[in-house]
Each structure stands twice: as structure tokens, then as C-alpha cells.
Amino acid sequence: MTALLRSRRTHGRAVFLLIGFVGLVVLPAVMSEFRLGLLAKYLCFAIVAVGIDLAWGYGGMLTLGQGLFFGLGGYAMGMFLKLQEAGPDGLPDFMSYNGLEKVPAFWQPFRHAWFALPAVLLIPMGVAAGLGALVFRQRIRGAYFAILTQALAAAFVILLIGQQGYTAGTNGLTNMKTMFGYDLNDPTNQRNVYLAVAVCLAIVYLVARQLVHSRYGRLLIAVRDGEDRVRFLGYNPTVVKVLAFTVSAGMAGLAGALFVPVVGIMSPAALGIVPSLELLIGVAVGGRATLVGAIGGTVLVNYAKTGLSEHFASGWLYFQGALFILVVAFAPKGLAGIRDVIRRRAPAPDMPMTIEPANVLEAVG
Amino acid sequence: MKTKKWVGVVMLLAVVAAACGDSANDSSSGSGQTGGATDGGSTIKVGILHSLSGTMAISEVSVRDAELLAIEEINAKGGVLGKKIEAKVEDGASDWPTFAEKAQKLISVDKVATTFGGWTSASRKAMLPVFEKNKALLWYPVQYEGLETSPYIFYSGATTNQQIIPGMDYLKAQGKTKIFLVGSDYVFPRTANKEIKAYAAANGITIVGEEYTPLGHTEYSTVVNKLKDAKPDAVFNTLNGDSNVAFFKQFKSGGLTAATMPVMSVSVAEEETRGIGAENIAGHLTAWNYYQTTDTPANKTFVAAYKAKFGQNRVTDDPIEAGYVQVYLWAAAVTKAGTTEVEAVKKAADGITFDAPEGKVTIDGATQHIYKTARIGVVQPDGLIKEVSASPTPIKPDPYLKSYPWAAGLS
Amino acid sequence: MDIYLSQVFTGLSIGSVLLLIALGLTFTFGQMGVINLAHGELIMAGAYTAYMVGGVFGESVSLLVALPVAFALAGTMGLVLERVLIRRLYGRPLDTLLVTWGVSLLLQQVARDIFGAPNVNAKAPEWLGGGVVVAGATLPYARLFIIALVALSVTGIWLYMTRLPQGRRMRAVMQNRQLAAVSGIATQAVDQRTFFIGSGLAGMAGVALTLLGPIGPSLGTAYIVDAFLVVVAGGLGQLRGAVFAAIGLGVIQSLVEFKTQASLAKVLCFVAVVALLQVRPQGLVSVRSRALT
């Protein structure tokens, strides 16, 4: 048994290194600048997906408002870049259109990298921790929690749009050309941005993996499958859930921050209800409660979205809707579950309890 | 555990394969010259980038249709520089980052000579850096808030001095001295209203109220109550999309009428009046540069061709016409330049004129905007709009309102 | 003074619209724990029904004809949805949420392909134009019609739930599904009936909303979040709770918007619901139960 475990572990490490090599060396060499930029964007979403997987797949907290945290991180980074560009006395372009004469006080700290960069993680995590403490302490869960997070994302978007002078409204923060003095339009720098995203994803993956394989991870899964039982055993499920939710918010914030130099825009359009839901689809397709599945599923779904919308400009919504229905209804374990079905194996023990093998079989048969 | 790794590897391979497949078509240097690359082929590719899905599809689908119609007509007459135009249509999906992504795709993968597209200001702002970075051309067909002259965008819709200011001039001429501003909460209404307030201050008009509602808002009873309370002579309406339907329906059922409180709209055209219901908006005012009823020979042909191709029940309106016209303007500039190369086309564009459905239009090379005739109209019971006043000549575009003293502190 | 009276009336009528769109949801959500994100598209189907019926009948009666037709159409759509998809997802409420979102995307695109992307219009009947003046404030007939329709629906549902055997079974399943099943209630049949009624109510809401707003493919998305807030704030499956929550939110919205701006009013409504759940995690009205989840 121990020998088997060890061989699996070395096997796993080899695969991880292989993926790392392909992702960091081969892809940047063979892909065009445009496609690499797209891949960088998908990887940003994959970072969010790892966080969602942690909260939803492992913790059972379906968060429909991940766009909120994505946006908090993204705007923190966007404000930093905008102020860098404007210079010490300058005003970001949209503020002068909106009649502001000086940079508002809450923007000021974002002038400094030492504030803005940690803020990318800390602001979303702080908000999530506060929110989580309030909500989970009251044992608000399941559908209630899902709808609350969705409402929060919606409220955040309305607030952002309403405060046009401070946030650039619907347009969002656009036209960010430099970062730390480097020209973001330069192909070499774009490649470096991609590498930064890929490395961040690897780190996020390792952190998440460490978490779910630790004692804490077992507790998290236990809370998902029977919160009251965990409470009777003397644990405090609130703390367990708040921690997972906070980490997942931090990941979304990080992804939002990386999204800004990759795409060059941070706008409310990327944060609302629909984008928040779209982030879930990758996790569902790849297979929830499998971190690799979440990453692979997200990359694949976004790749399909780009490809399909390029080839069937108006019809891809059908595909997206159908994919959602088919995967969630008939293959709830996602791609990670399909091989089990092919091999006619029993589901692995670390899968969520809610899956009914009968449904999975129907989907294939 | 094994399952997950297996999945990961398969997905990775798929991505690598896809990446290699794409590389065959893509150029690896994204900043390379665009436009020029297409001169070697037998067709000239152009991009069309509008929202075909999502909330903005309501408006943008028809503009795409008009652009395709213009391309078809030009091709029927032999194309441009002896080559047929080939349209590459992409979906912006009502999402601004998607607009930027698709714009980049059209430029670096399809290598289009130019792109026609966009509707919302947000989509234009998102695409602007992409076109500037790649030194590629965008033609943008919708009236907008001004205060912008990108060297790589041609603005074929009205800027504020060709629509908002004539609208205010008309209200002033009608003796309206108390005006209420209603708008959606985003950049166009807020900028437009800033200009209107400056105009009002200089022209003895009082602004008795200013209300913004979120995009897509459908509950206007409170706004209607505020209107009743403030009793303005007229309402200046910069609401966008669906909100107009709710606003006019609730305006009418709240007991307000066009006779006592006319609403001047700048984002309601023939296409929108059908969704609002002509009975709800008849008698109210609009400010545009073109109506389906505009009486020019070119318009008769255009309306007939549009209806023949897309259905007799379809209507034409200002942005649709601007989309149609901008394709012709680009084609004329290319013909004059003798190449699709961007800098040459830009240089050739200055002073190009075209007998458009809206009347004669001219490109102003300095601002890359178009000289347009301002037309104030009244919505008729059949939903069409009848012109009641027009500027005597096409108005010179002035996106920064430099020629208006009262606008000095605005930009 | 009359402006405040108008504003209170406005709050009431916003509340009635919220209640109308949330009424169907509160049952499907309350009884089956199904978060039906396609509820907005059932409303859309109702609105398009009004448009289609308006083309066949004269405008003076079309609204009255459209109400039952939309009820039947949307109800049938809901029934199909329940039988084909939702039934498979019993006990996985979060999955139904995702699946129904997929359904909502599909239905939106279908509507766009059938009716075209631009909005269409259904003419309101002449007899709903204008309004009655009370103490200087105009109460539009269209709004009064909606309030009456909501009052009628609520009464009808209340009678159904308390007086008819089918309604009592529905309440039994809502309170304790297993116990109801072992007592001999065919829970699947009850589920279907609930879904039919809940979806039908959405269709009727769609018809009524054509008096106030647009008819277009993305109509449903405009209302869905609000509807869920009402349900959550009111308490699952609680008719009384939904009524209080809807009117409460309507009044908050109308008063805040009157004093400030619509955007702020909307945000404050969200905040109010979050705050409410801090005090009453199960919503305004909840059933006492010793069951564990």
C-alpha cells in the first residue's frame, strides 16, 4: 500500500512537471501572440475555478458571486496601473472626463505597489471573511447562500456603474499600456505576463492541493457532507467554511488582478451575474472536487467558447446552454467521471456523495 | 487520482494541438502591418464586429445587416480595387472584453483591412487600445458622447454638436425653459447631460431635475412622479435600450402626454419605437441625422434594398444607415488611395463625399468624424418618424465642442 | 402631500410586480428546493404570448385572453422541464440551479431566433389607459390592474392550499417530504402539479408585465434576481412571507429612489435582505421544524 502510494506520488509529480514544462516552455514557443494572450486569459479563469472548486466542490458552498472578488482584485490592480500611468500629479483619463479635479482619497493608497499588490489579495479576502462570518454563523447555506452571493455581485455591479467619476462606470478601466514601466503591448512582455499567470496558477494549484489533502481538507469535505454531524463532533463548521470561502475569494482576486494586464480592461461587464455563472461551468465540466478537472474544464470550456463563437457567431449560446444541461444533469462528475464510466469502475471515494451513478450511466448509454 | 492526471494530460494535449493548428494561420508578430497583407489575395477581408447575442443584440444585429447589404451592393458593382469584399463577422456578445478579444482576432488572425463595429461607448473604449496598438482601422456607426478623436477610428455616427445641441436648440426655439433630464446610468447620458447643463446655463434654460437609472431598469413610476412634481416644459431623454419601453409606457399610463410634456429622445429610433409601441410614444420628439422617411433619392433605393433583403416588416433608422454609409465611405477612401493600407486610406479619406440616404455626407479628415445634417423628428402614430426641423447644411463635427464658448470648461 | 401619496402607491405597485414574479418561484423553490433560474424565461414566454395573442384578437380583449393562455403555455413548459430534467436532480438543489441556467440560455436564444432580437410590442387595451385621481395623485389603471391580479392570484392560491385536498397534500410535501410519502401521498404527482402552477403564474406575470415594460429575449434576466430576493426574504414556500417581503422591498425602493437615485435604491434593497437574513436566517416567515438538514 505504501509502495503504491509512493509510486502514485512520483507519477503525479512527473505529470505535474511535464504539464509545467509544456505550459511554461513549449506553449510560449509555438503559439502566436494572440492565442497565447487568449490562453493567459483562460488560465486567469482557471485560477478562479480552483477557488470555486475549493468552496463548492470540496466545501459545498455554491458561490454565484465570485465576480465580486474577481472585480475587487481587478479594480485594485487597475487603479494601480491607471495611477502609475497618470504619474505622481496626473489624473486618470476618465476622471478628467467626469469633471474630477484631483484623485479621490480612496484611490491614493493604490499609487504604491506595496499597497496595491497585497490589496489584490487582502481586500477580497477581507470582504469574504467578513461576509462569510456573518452568513455562516447564521447557518445560511445552500440555496440561500447561492442567492445571497448572486445578489451581492449584482449590487456591486450597480454600485460600480453608479459611481462613474470614481470607477469609470460601465466603460470600466481601459487603455492600460504600461506596468512597472514596461510596455504591455510589447510581445515579449505579453509573453512574460503569460508566464506570470501560468506560475500563479501552479502556485494556486499547489496551495489548494495542500489544503484539500490536509486534515483541514478532510474537515471541509465532512462539513460539506454533514455539517451538523461535524458540529456534534465538537468542531466549528463556521470557521472551516469561512476559511475555504476566504481562500477562494483570494484566488478570485488574484485572477482578477492578472486579468488586467492580460486583457487590458477591467469593467463591470466581467463581474456581473452572468460572468459569475460562466465561471462555474468550467468547474462543472471538468469535474467538481478535482482540482485538475476544474483547471482543465475551465480552459477547455473557454477554448470552446472562443472557437464556437468564431465559427457560429450567433449560435454558440445554444451550445453553451446545452453543455450546461448535459454535463450537470447527466455527468455530474464532469470529464473526470467519464473514464470511470468507460471502465465501469465504482466512483472514487473522494467524490461528492450526492452523485448518483445511475445518471452517469444513462448519459453514456 | 489517476483519473485526474489522465484528464489533465488529455486536455493539455488538446490545447497544444489546437495551439499548433492555429499557429499555421496566425502570424507570430501581432504588431505587423495589417491591411497591406490582404492586397495579395483575390478578395479584401473586412471585419464586422457587433453583439449578436446578449442584451445589445437588440440594436446591433440590424447594423450588421446594413453593413452586409452595403458590402453586397459594392461587390455587385465589381468590388473595390477590382477585388470582392469578404466580410468576417464576429460576435461581441454584449461584453466589452470580448469586443477587445475579437477585434484582436480580426486583426491578427483574419488580417482584415478594416473593421466596422461597436455600438456602446464601452465597447468602443474597449476596442480603441487594440486598434491603436495594431495601427488598424475601426469604423464606429453610432452617435456617441464626443470628447474623443482616436487616430485609428472613423466616427460615422453623430457627435454631440450634431445631435444633442441641435436637439436643445429646437427645444429652446419652441420656448421650453424648464427641462428635466432622464438618462441611463452610464457614460453617454452623463456626458451628454453635462453638456446640456452648460448649454442651459448659457441660454437661460433651467434644469429642474436630473435622474439616472441602472441599465436595463424597468420601474419608472418614481421617475414619473418626480416629473409630475417638477412640471418641466420638456424632458430630455438619454435612456438606453429596454428602459425606454418601460419609461414611455409608464409615462403614458401615469397620465403625462406629449402635448403638455414632450420628451426629446436621442437613443430612440424607428427600430425602438416598434418595441415601445407607437401608441405610447407618438407625438414625442427625437433628434437624429436620418429617418426612414428622409426624402432623398438615395434613401428610396436604400430602404427598398434593405426591405427586399431582410423583410418588408423591417425598418431602417439612423445607426443602421450610418453602418451602411460607413462601408461606402471606406470603399471610396480605398479607391481613392489605390490601396487598403491604413495610413494611405486615412490620408485619402479627408474630404471624401457620398450621397448617403441622409443626404450628402463628407469626411472631416482632422477629426475623422462626418459632416452630418441634424434632423428633429416627431414620432407618428405608425411608428415612423417625421422630420419637423433640419439644419440648413451638414454640420461640421466638433467632438470637443471647441467652437461653443459655453462649453469651455467641459473637456 | 399628493406626491407622497403617489409614492406610497408606487411602493405598493412595485411590490405587487415583485410579488407577481416571485409567486411562482416561492412554491417551486419552497416545495422542491429547486432554484429555477429559467423562471425568468417562463415570464418571457408569457410576455410573448401576450404579443402573439394580441395579433389574433382585438386589443380590447387580448389581455384577458392572453392570461389563461400564458398560464397554460408556461405551465406546460414548466411541466416538461420538471419531467425531463429537474426530476433527475432531486436532492441536488445546486445542480438544478446550474441546469436551469442552461435552460434559460437556450430559451433566450430560441426567442431571439423566433421573434428576432429587437423588442416587440403588445398593445395595451384602451380601457387600461389613464388612471383614477385620488387626492391629487394619479393611480394608473394599468397598475391597479396588476394589483388586482396579484390580489386575485394570492387569494386563489391561499384557497387552493387551505381548502382543496391537492393543496393540503402540497403543504404536507413542503413540510416533510418523507413523512408525506410514507403517508401515501404521491409526491411526484404533487411535485408536477406544483411546478405547473408555479410556472403558470410566471406566464401570467409575463402577460401583466407587458403593460409596464419591454417584450424581448432578455426580459427574464431583468426580473430574476429581484424575484429570488423576495423569496429568500419571505421564507421558502411562505405565501404570507412573500407578500410582506415584496411590499416591504417595493416601499423601500420607491422611497429611497424618491429621495435619492434608482441605483442606490437597488443596492439598498440588496443590503436590506442581507441584513434581514442576519436576524431571521429562514426569512420573515418560517416553519418551525426540528429536522436537521
A168 and A282 share one domain: yes
Query: Among C141, C219, C257, whose Cβ lies nearest the Cβ of B222?
Result: C257
- Asked if residue B298 belongs to a domain, the reply is no
A36 and A26 share one domain: no
On whether the CB atoms of residues B192 and B145 are closer than 8 A, the answer is: yes
- Across B277-297, b (16+ Cβ under 10 Å) vs e yields bbbbbbebbbbbbbbbbbeee
A242 and A337 share one domain: yes
Over range A323-331, report the average pLDDT.
81
B180 and B272 share one domain: yes
Query: Among A31, A172, A290, whose Cβ lies nearest the Cβ of B23?
Result: A31
pLDDT at A353 > cutoff 80: no
pLDDT at C49: 95
B258 and B325 share one domain: no
pLDDT at B25: 46
Is A174 at the interface with chain B, CB within 8 A? Answer: yes
Widest CA span of chain B, in angstroms? 79
B190 and B209 share one domain: yes
Residue B409 in grid coordinates: 470648461
**Within 10 Å of residue C61's Cβ, how many Cβ atoms?**
12
pLDDT at A139 > cutoff 90: no
> Collapsing DSSP states into helix, strand and coil, what is residue B72?
helix
Smallest Cα distance from A314 to chain C, Å:
9
The three state secondary structure string of chain A is CHHHHHHHHHHHHHHHHHHHHHHHHHHHHHCCHHHHHHHHHHHHHHHHHHHHHHHHHHCCCCCCCHHHHHHHHHHHHHHHHHHHHHCCCCCCHHHHHCCCCCCCHHHHHHHCHHHHHHHHHHHHHHHHHHHHHHHHHCCCCHHHHHHHHHHHHHHHHHHHHHCHHHHCHHHCECCCCEECCEECCCHHHHHHHHHHHHHHHHHHHHHHHHHHHCHHHHHHHHHHHCHHHHHHCCCCHHHHHHHHHHHHHHHHHHHHHHHHHHHCCECHHHCCHHHHHHHHHHHHHHCCCCHHHHHHHHHHHHHHHHHHHHHCCCCHHHHHHHHHHHHHHHCCCCHHHHHHHHCCCCCCCCCCCCCCHHHHHHHHC
Name which of C3, C4, C6, C12 to mutate to probe chain B: the one with the most chain B Cβ atoms within 10 A of its Cβ.
Answer: C6
On whether the CB atoms of residues B257 and B249 are closer than 8 A, the answer is: no
pLDDT at A163: 83
- Asked if residue B333 belongs to a domain, the reply is yes
Pairing of strands A182-183, A178-179: antiparallel
Residue B85 in grid coordinates: 469584399
Query: Among C88, C109, C273, whose Cβ lies nearest the Cβ of A317?
Result: C109
Which residues on chain B are in Cβ contact (under 8 Å) with A12?
Answer: 1, 5
A99 and A5 share one domain: no
pLDDT at C289: 62
A24 and A107 share one domain: no
CB contact residues (below 8 A), chain C span 209-238, against chain A: 221, 225, 228-229, 232
Q: Which structural domain, as residue segments, surrounds residue B244?
A: 161-293+374-407
pLDDT at B9: 56
pLDDT at B20: 45
Total structural domains in chain A? 2
A269 and A338 share one domain: yes
Pairing of strands C131-134, C137-140: antiparallel
A345 pLDDT tier (thresholds 50, 70, 90): very low
- Asked if residue B302 belongs to a domain, the reply is no
Instruction: State the DSSP code for B393.
Output: S
Phi, psi dihedral angles at B186 (to 5 degrees): -160, -170
B139 and B282 share one domain: no
C93 pLDDT tier (thresholds 50, 70, 90): confident
Phi, psi dihedral angles at B104 (to 5 degrees): -60, -40
Q: How far is CA C261 from CA B232, C31, C243, C267, in A?
A: 19, 37, 25, 10
Q: Cβ–Cβ of A97/B6 closer than 8 Å?
A: no
Total structural domains in chain B? 2
- Asked if residue B145 belongs to a domain, the reply is yes
Name which of B51, B56, B221 to mutate to probe chain C: the one with the most chain C Cβ atoms within 10 A of its Cβ.
Answer: B221
B263 pairs with which residues across the strands?
A: B235
Containing B264, the helix (H) or strand (E) segment is strand B263-265
Is A315 at the interface with chain C, CB within 8 A? Answer: yes
Cα–Cα–Cα angle for B114, B108, B45, rounded to 5 degrees:
40
Span A42-95, pLDDT tens digits: 999 999 999 999 999 999 998 999 999 999 999 999 999 999 888 887 888 888
B131 and B273 share one domain: no
pLDDT at B28: 38
In percent, the amount of chain C with pLDDT more than 70 equals: 97
> Collapsing DSSP states into helix, strand and coil, what is residue B115?
strand
Sheet holding B234-238, edge to edge: B206-213, B178-184, B234-238, B263-265, B285-288, B375-379, B385-390
pTM value is 0.88
Domain harbouring B401, CATH code:
3.40.50.2300
Phi, psi dihedral angles at B233 (to 5 degrees): -75, -30
> Collapsing DSSP states into helix, strand and coil, what is residue B359?
strand
Q: How far is CA B25 from CA A31, A32, A34, B20, B111, in A?
A: 11, 9, 11, 9, 10
- Asked if residue B300 belongs to a domain, the reply is no
Pairing of strands B138-140, B115-117: parallel
Neighbours of chain B (3+ CB pairs under 8 A): A, C
Q: Cβ–Cβ of B4/A22 closer than 8 Å?
A: no
Helices (H), B28-163: 57-76, 96-108, 121-134
Size of interface B-C (CB pairs under 8 A): 132
B135 and B60 share one domain: yes
Q: Which structural domain, as residue segments, surrounds residue A238?
A: 31-364
Query: How far is the first Cα of chain B from the last one, in angstroms, to the nearest whole number?
Result: 60
On whether the CB atoms of residues A246 and A124 are closer than 8 A, the answer is: no
Is A152 at the interface with chain C, CB within 8 A? Answer: yes
- Tens of pLDDT, residue by residue, chain B (411 residues): 445 555 555 555 555 555 444 444 444 333 334 444 444 578 999 999 999 887 788 789 899 999 999 999 999 999 999 999 999 999 988 888 899 999 999 999 999 999 999 998 889 999 999 999 999 999 999 999 888 999 999 999 999 999 999 999 999 999 999 999 999 888 889 889 999 999 999 999 999 999 998 888 888 988 998 999 899 999 999 998 888 999 999 999 888 999 999 999 999 999 889 889 999 999 999 999 999 999 999 999 999 999 999 999 899 999 999 999 999 999 999 999 999 999 999 999 999 999 999 999 999 999 999 999 999 999 999 999 999 999 999 999 999 999 998 888 776
- The region that residue B184 occupies, defined by phi over 0 for left and psi between -120 and 50 for alpha, beta otherwise, is beta
Phi, psi dihedral angles at C206 (to 5 degrees): -60, -45
Q: Which residue has the cell 448617403?
A: B356
**Within 10 Å of residue A322's Cβ, how many Cβ atoms?**
14
Containing C198, the helix (H) or strand (E) segment is helix C187-209
Residue A245 in grid coordinates: 470561502
Burial of A191 from C-beta contacts in 10 A (0-12 / 13-18 / 19+): middle
Is A198 at the interface with chain B, CB within 8 A? Answer: no
If you count them, how many residues does chain B have? 411
Over range C58-70, report the average pLDDT.
89
A24 and A120 share one domain: no
Span C98-147, pLDDT tens digits: 889 889 989 988 998 899 888 888 888 888 877 888 777 778 899 999 99
A275 and A138 share one domain: yes
A26 and A78 share one domain: no
B167 and B140 share one domain: no
Reported ipTM: the value is 0.88
Distance CA B328, CA B322 (A): 10
A139 and A265 share one domain: yes
Distance CA A261, CA A270 (A): 14
B145 and B279 share one domain: no
Chain C, nearest residue to A352 by Cα: C92
pLDDT at A101: 80
Span C177-223, pLDDT tens digits: 888 999 999 988 999 999 999 999 999 999 999 999 899 888 888 78
C258 pLDDT tier (thresholds 50, 70, 90): confident
pLDDT at B33: 41
Cα–Cα–Cα angle for B365, B369, B375, rounded to 5 degrees:
135
Distance CA C91, CA C102 (A): 19
A70 and A212 share one domain: yes
pLDDT at A250 > cutoff 50: yes
Helices (H), B114-174: 121-134, 164-173
pLDDT top residue among C31 and B97: B97
pLDDT at C58: 79
pLDDT at A325: 86
Q: Cβ–Cβ of C97/A148 closer than 8 Å?
A: no
- Asked if residue B183 belongs to a domain, the reply is yes
A6 pLDDT tier (thresholds 50, 70, 90): low
Name which of A4, A5, A170, A201 to mutate to probe chain B: the one with the most chain B Cβ atoms within 10 A of its Cβ.
Answer: A170
Cα–Cα–Cα angle for C129, C135, C139, rounded to 5 degrees:
25
pLDDT at A354 > cutoff 50: no
A1 and A38 share one domain: no
pLDDT top residue among A185 and B266: B266
Closest CA to A199 of A20, A28, A53, A51: A20
B180 and B270 share one domain: yes
Over range A21-27, report the average pLDDT.
82
